[in-house]
Each structure stands twice: as structure tokens, then as C-alpha cells.
Amino acid sequence: METLAIAKGLKLNDCWVGAGLIRNAVWDSLHQIKTTKRNDIDVVFFDATTLSEALEKEIEAKLIQINPNVKWSVKNQARMHLRNNHKQYSNTENAISYWPETATAIAARLNPNEEIEILAPHGLNDLFNLVVAPTPNFDWNMFQERIEEKQWKKQWKNLKVIQTKEKK
């Protein structure tokens, strides 16, 4: 909740906290294990008026001042299509639909009434069913490399990693 409040306080357009922070918290809970160390906190927003990476670094510096004990990663999704060689994204939801796994393509924020809003373009079933599957827009070979690199099954034994290109 503290992280969501911090992100809301940035007052960025279409701003969310997502990816591993949410995924890992859910997987930890479903595995009944202590909180996994968080590698970073992904703050994403959509501002097509400036595609400067410098803006992201400024926001990260601001976040470090607020909480220096966290590795912050801030990305303007309006420019990420350039890095990822995709067509231009229309908003944050469209952008995160291209994230690697369905269980990772999830974000949250506090709405004006201080209620949690969830953004999950591929739904929440895979996240809660411990399924690790690529999003339809993510390259299969890159997915396989990512699974090998992350070694998630060592931490979360009950994960079901999709091993074939066929739909689960």
C-alpha cells in the first residue's frame, strides 16, 4: 500500500506499479512462504508528450529520495515500443499486454477513492493458478531464455511453466 501511495503521489499520467512486485507477492502467498526479496519496483506511466529517458531518471531520483531502500525502475510506456521494436502503444494497459508473461503483465494503483485498481490485460487466472505462460505478443524464444535465466521454479516449486508454443 505504501508503494501504491508513493506512485500515486507522483501524479503521472496512467501510472501503475507492476510486474514482479505483484507477481512475487501472490506467488509467495500461494506457496505460503516468507516474502521474497524484491529486486526492484516497476513504476510505469504513459506520457506521449515526452519520450525522454531523462524524465524516467528524474522520477527514479525522486523515488530514491522518498525511499532509498528500494531499487526503483521507472519506464514511460509511451516510449517503450521503440526499445521493444513494436508498434506504438496506446496506453499503459496496451503496453503491459506486451510484457513477457501473463502472470507478470499485471499492475496496480490507488484510484482517487484510495481503492486498489488492477490492470491485467491477460486476466488474473495464470497468476493465481501459478501458470507461467508467455503473453501472445512476446517472442517464444525470448520467453524460454527468460524462464531459464529467472529460475523461478527453484523459489516457487508449484509453478507450471508452459513448455510448448501451443496455448495452455
Candidate CATH numbers 3.50.30.10, 3.30.460.10, 2.60.40.10, 3.40.50.2300; the one for domain 2-161: 3.30.460.10
- Cell triple for 92: 499503459
- Cell triple for 133: 505462460
DSSP secondary structure of 95-120: HHTTSSBTTTS-EEEE-TTS-EEEE-
Per-residue confidence in pLDDT tens, the chain, 168 aa: 999 999 999 999 999 999 999 999 999 999 999 876 777 899 999 999 989 899 999 999 999 999 998 899 999 999 999 888 889 999 999 999 999 999 999 999 999 999 999 999 999 999 999 999 999 988 899 999 999 999 999 999 999 999 777 654
* CA–CA dist 39, 67 (Å, integer): 14
* CA–CA dist 78, 87 (Å, integer): 11
